[in-house]
Structure 1
Amino acid sequence: MNQQSLFDAPPAGIPDGTVTRALAPNLADYDVISGNLSGGGDSWVMQCLLMDAAREAGVEDRVYTFHATLGPLEWPAVEFGGQHFPSAAELAAQQSAASGVPAERHLERRKLTQDVEPAPYDLLTYIAAYGRFPRLGTRFCTKAHKESIEETAFTPVLNGLKVPLGLARTPTAVKLARPVRRLKVLGLLGEESRDRAARPAYRHVASNGVRHVDEWCPAKEWTKAQVRDFHATSGMPHHWTYDSSPGAGDWGGTSRCSCSLCFLSSKRDLLLGVLRRPRLAALIAHVEHVRGDTFRPDWSMHDLIAWSKRPGAPDPGVVITDETPAFDALEQSVRAALRKPPRKEPDLSRGGRAALPLLRETCTSACS
């Protein structure tokens, strides 16, 4: 590690609190390096840049990959034209393997209930129980279903390093000679939003007596056009939702590969999501109807469903029925959550708006 102490004032322009005192990390300074893979195009670029840097630093064996799966809310796998197109989770695992990370160092985790026998706790069930949809200022979807899951997933990895690194005598020790250092690597592009453009490419994000976590976005200065070109030259296929139809290869579908229906998405992406996954859209609209809160302050899911039926709406290219046991389980858990009082009153976007109707013509019998 560099000679300068973490407690010294950093030189001008150097991020405060990071392990490496520079504008970019020295990967050899970290005990664990984790590439966060969503299955999106940016993730593949990030993972390749990460592995190149890890090999150069001689710490390839410290690299893990991680995918926080959202289950039925993610873009699923599809069979189209006699070909299988992988889900976001499947593609994340393929990206990890193709970059050279052993299968045992690819971690895929999902939020679970705290029951004696834990079961998947899907985001839409969480929203139905909470009573409100996520907003820019309250992105509990990211916090509860991604970030906290990631920290939990890496706890045993970090504990397993305490003794070999000479930081403690037992893996369960909480008093260490120094925290275990983890570098969290993300595939964010500054071009995607003003918030991401302003976000430092390298920064300190969390620390306590056991762990010190810094964040690095090696692809921050890349453009979407460069990401597409990289996919073409590297031979790694991009997720099917980016195309007008699976396998088209035209990048004419959604501009993002996150939740199938994410409140941060553009109107066109959301219309494509509604048309490609009508059963999911109807279930979200049912949550709106029962709770009184809307999917977004400016657009309700009811609005989006209505707009998707108008002339000029995008061609979905493929329609997913979502007739699967996993989606059936999601629908049942959402319905059960809606039978109970919400944890928060849904007053974020109800103000002055009439109650949203029940979409009986599009919602399945499980919604009624």
Structure 2
Amino acid sequence: MTAQLELLSARDALGPDPIPDLAAADRIIVSSSGGKDSQVALDETVRLADAAGVRDRIVVLHCDLGVTPRGHTIEWPGTLDLARAQAEHYGLSFEVRRSAKWESLLHRIRARGRFPNLFNRYCTAEMKRNVSRKFITEQVAQLGITGRPARVVLCLGLRAAESRNRAAKPPIERDPASSGRRTITLWYPVLRWSTEEVWERIHATGVPYHWAYREGMSRLSCSLCPLASASDLTCAARLRPELAAEYAETERETGSPFRRDLTMAEIIERAGAAV
């Protein structure tokens, strides 16, 4: 009996998640990081939008995290091109936006004097959430709807299995940034999917996925994310030693550790031992 229960996904146990009324949406924005979860969220959004006859209302948005002072991309090399290729596979418009204030996440970290952590995720707030909300403002202006708020659905590839905070989220919720000019519905189309289900869909579609997974990464965010697992960080430092060295230099200059329980110097040492 236990073995059978382990084979059940959250969707099997809880039933199908609700779906927003895509036919009523004026714009459907899919936030794409180029990672496996947003890749499958994009595929699922296209599938359901096709059923509603509104694929033409979808636009894919990639929030780029910039280039460090030494010229290294914060994101994994090839991420931007891959996210664009994934959007083009479905014939969708692809847009890239970056912070207007900070050249990169590392510039922001150096200015703040400390790295992000679970309770201070200014990386997500400033480099992604604020950027995507500004993009929504642009889209609403282009729509030119009068007499009612523009209806926007923002699709994010969050999964409950990734954290307790995500597990507590409903599949659909209203964005606090909604206003009299726009209503923003946050939709997590793969919230209850298991990792196995994600990979099954990716292989079924045949759409290219990021090379870092084949090199041992289990998740794909910024290359060196303080919230990543120690094993992923060790793998990332091995694959991107020059970026890791720049983070270690920032760590020394600011006097702030990369993570309270794990410094970048220690991560680099682990990566060297793993070679």
Give the TM-score of the pair, scaled to structure 2.
0.87
Partner residue, 2:84: 93
* Aligned 8 A contact 1:261 1:274 in 2: yes
Of 194, 198, 201, the match for 2:164: 194
Partner residue, 2:12: none
Total equivalences in the alignment: 252
Q: How does 1:346-361 map to 2 (within 5 A)?
A: none
Partner residue, 2:226: 263
Shift of 1:99: 2.0
* Aligned 8 A contact 2:30 2:42 in 1: yes
Of 215, 228, 234, the match for 2:199: 228
Partner residue, 1:52: 47
Partner residue, 2:210: 239
Partner residue, 2:135: 153
Partner residue, 2:250: 287
Gaps of 5+ in 1: 1-21, 77-86, 114-119, 168-176, 245-252, 316-368
Q: What letter is aligned with 2:113?
A: G
Shift of 1:143: 0.8
* Distance in 2 separating the partners of 1:152 and 1:192: 27
Partner residue, 2:75: 74
Q: How does 1:205-354 map to 2 (within 5 A)?
A: 205-206=175-176, 207-244=178-215, 253-310=216-273, 313=274, 315=275
* Distance in 2 separating the partners of 1:33 and 1:54: 9
Please give the per-residue CA displacement for 1:214-251, whole angstroms capped at 9, x wherever unaligned: 1111111211112112222211121000013xxxxxxx
Q: What letter is aligned with 2:255?
A: G
Provide the alpha-carbon RMSD of the alignment: 1.5
Structure with the largest fraction of helix: 2
Q: What letter is aligned with 1:238?
A: Y
* Distance in 1 separating the partners of 2:64 and 2:199: 24
Asked which structure has the greater CA Rg, the reply is 1
- Higher relative contact order, chain-length normalized (CA < 8 Å, sep 6+): 2
Identity among equivalent positions (%) equals 38
Give the TM-score of the pair, scaled to structure 1.
0.66
* Aligned 8 A contact 2:86 2:208 in 1: no
Partner residue, 2:6: none
* Distance in 1 separating the partners of 2:250 and 2:95: 31
Residue 204 (structure 2) pairs with residue 204 (structure 1): no
Please give the per-residue CA displacement for 1:324-357, whole angstroms capped at 9, x wherever unaligned: xxxxxxxxxxxxxxxxxxxxxxxxxxxxxxxxxx
Q: Which SS does the other structure have where 1:73 is aligned? A: coil
* Distance in 2 separating the partners of 1:290 and 1:44: 37
Q: What letter is aligned with 2:55?
A: E
Partner residue, 2:13: none
Please give the per-residue CA displacement for 1:81-140, whole angstroms capped at 9, x wherever unaligned: xxxxxx111111111111231xxx211111234xxxxxx611101110111111111100
Q: What letter is aligned with 1:31?
A: D
* Distance in 2 separating the partners of 1:284 and 1:256: 19
Please give the per-residue CA displacement for 1:48-74, whole angstroms capped at 9, x wherever unaligned: 111111111122221111000113100
* Distance in 2 separating the partners of 1:23 and 1:235: 27
Of 79, 95, 115, the match for 1:133: 115
Shift of 1:308: 2.1
Q: Which SS does the other structure have where 2:175 is aligned? A: strand
Gaps of 5+ in 2: 1-16, 67-72
* Distance in 2 separating the partners of 1:262 and 1:214: 27
